[in-house]
Structure 1
Amino acid sequence: MEDTTNLSQKADASLYNGQPIDTGLSCPSVGLTSCTPSISDDVRYGVSVENVPAGNKQWFVLRVSYGRITKAKTLVETNALEYYVPMRYKEIKKRGKKRIVTEPLLPSFIFVHATAEQVEALLHDNKVATNESSPLLSYYFDHTIHLQNNPDRNPPLTIRNEAMNNFINLTSLKNPHIIPITSNNIQFKLGDNVVVTEGEFKGIHGRVARIAGQQRVIVELFYGCLVATAYVPKEAIKKTIF
């Protein structure tokens, strides 16, 4: 967790607003988007990833070993790959003063936009140090399907560009009430597919659920990876097919 107390509103936002260079500073906004120079302005500011797909690049979900997200980002940057690490902003009181702190929203994952060959090379460069028991990065596998040439194995999980776009749009918003959840947090079964039609979350696609006594919209990027909006009134959503 990083304390941003002494940063002004005009502090260099390159780490958390998705600028190309990681300065180690942050500002009160949500969402660390892709941090390599080649990424477009739209993606950096969480607007869209629709213009990103090129060649056979895909969004890979890579697992990060415990407590090493910063080191993982450095490794990906060293390999000049586009990536996304959503951040969560929290307001706390310390010595009677309000402070903004940041922490990874999903500290066990980093999302890398690259070709399969680039990701394979990245993981090959993912050396285990003598004082480390596990690799820094590893594939997160898609347990819903199996490899055609090896029925006992699952392929690496990749995310559709449309789904990743929706996820970035949500997690880049400056709202401390956006939270990661598990199925245990949801009081009612996930309901209708909806799109938010107005307000801060306008354009976000997901499913309706009731969490902590509030109606929210749940975005599920892949099985077990769910993020909830803040409260959304029923007047601001409509049913859709997504």
Structure 2
Amino acid sequence: MADASLYNGQPTGTGSSCPSARLTSCTPSIPCDVRNGVSVENALIEKRQWFVLRVSYGRIIKAKSFVEAKNLECYVPMRHKQIMKHGKKLIITEPLLTSFLFVYATRSQIGVLLCDCSNNTTDKKALLSFYYDHTSFREDAPEKNPPLTVSNSAMDNFIRLTSIKNPHIIPITSENIKYKLDDEVVITGGEFVGVHGRVARIAGQQRVVVELFDGCLVATAYIPKDMMSLLEM
């Protein structure tokens, strides 16, 4: 799996790039476990997952710093955008998805994180909150949706795509997308090699679309037909 603690860029407007931040995952401390009502023994059994957390407007970088301070792995996909400044072409970076932060942790760790987030702010709107999976329901509460999680394989594919410094990688919406193939393809050449998704025509070009979850779609740059093949499941 790709490095879970990637941060592919730096704050907007720099015109340059910097090394990816590297985070170290950790098991929650005993005080965190106790106040969250989870024993240390049970916490060690829990599996880490990729949780999708919603970020309040305009605070994605602050949210990332908050999660890093808790020694949890997170990922903020960045968009490498080409602009003209003083007659020169520059590549700047800005958040690709301003409303979502991806955190690799156990359910207990996420609970503690959101609890601390709520207790350490005077703002009316929480910095971070759960993003819920509206396609399923909780077993213990059938009337409620569970927090949305993303599989390791899907996240690995998403990180592979969004870590590429190409200004033609763009976020898109599902409205009016007409896929050219119902089957998934894998890109076999070029800088996007290994990325898999579905072929669509976007902005007048043939591209591959990666859908991480409903409402979160990202398209590659132009991909020639001879650089893709059907993905064998």
Find the counterpart in structure 2 of residue 19 from structure 1: 21
Matching residue within 80, 89, 92 for 2:83: 92
Deviations 1:181-234 (CA, angstroms, capped at 9, x unpaired): 001262557632111111111111101111111111010000110000001111
Which residue matches 1:149?
Answer: 140
Asked if the contact 1:192–1:239 (Cα under 8 Å) also holds between the matched residues in 2, the reply is: yes
- Paired residues of 2:209 and 2:218 also in contact (CA < 8 A): yes
1:4 and 2:6 equivalent? no
Aligned runs of 1:188-227 on 2, under 5 Å?
Answer: 188=179, 191-227=182-218
- Report which stretch shifted further, 54-63 or 186-195: 186-195
How many Å separate the matches in 2 of 1:121 and 1:189?
Answer: 44
**2:170 equivalent in structure 1:** 179
Q: Quick one: structure 1 residues 170 and 126, their matched pair in 2 at CA, closer, same or farther if it must change by over 3 Å? A: same
Give the TM-score taking structure 1 as reference length: 0.79
Backbone CA RMSD of aligned residues: 2.0
Counterpart-to-counterpart distance in 2, 1:232 and 1:109: 27
Question: Kindly tell me: are residues 239 and 19 of structure 1, through their superposed partners in 2, closer, same or farther at Cα, counting changes over 3 Å?
Answer: same
Unaligned stretches of 5+ residues in structure 2: 1-10, 27-44
Q: Is the 8 A contact 2:74 2:101 kept in 1?
A: yes
**1:62 has 2:53 as partner:** yes
Higher helix share: 2
Distance 2:187 2:179 in 1: 19
SS of aligned partner of 1:120:
helix
Q: SS state of the match for residue 146, structure 1?
A: coil
Q: Provide TM-score, normalisation by structure 2.
A: 0.81
Q: Structure 1 pair 235/219, CA: closer, same or farther in 2 (3 Å)?
A: same
- CA contact under 8 A between 1:65 and 1:135: conserved in structure 2? yes
Q: Which amino acid aligns with 2:14?
A: T
Q: Name the CA distance, whole Å, in 2 between partners of 1:153 and 1:190.
A: 35
Distance 1:4 1:185 in 2: 34
Give aligned pairs, total: 204
Distance 1:133 1:37 in 2: 31
Could you say what secondary structure the match of 1:125 adopts? helix
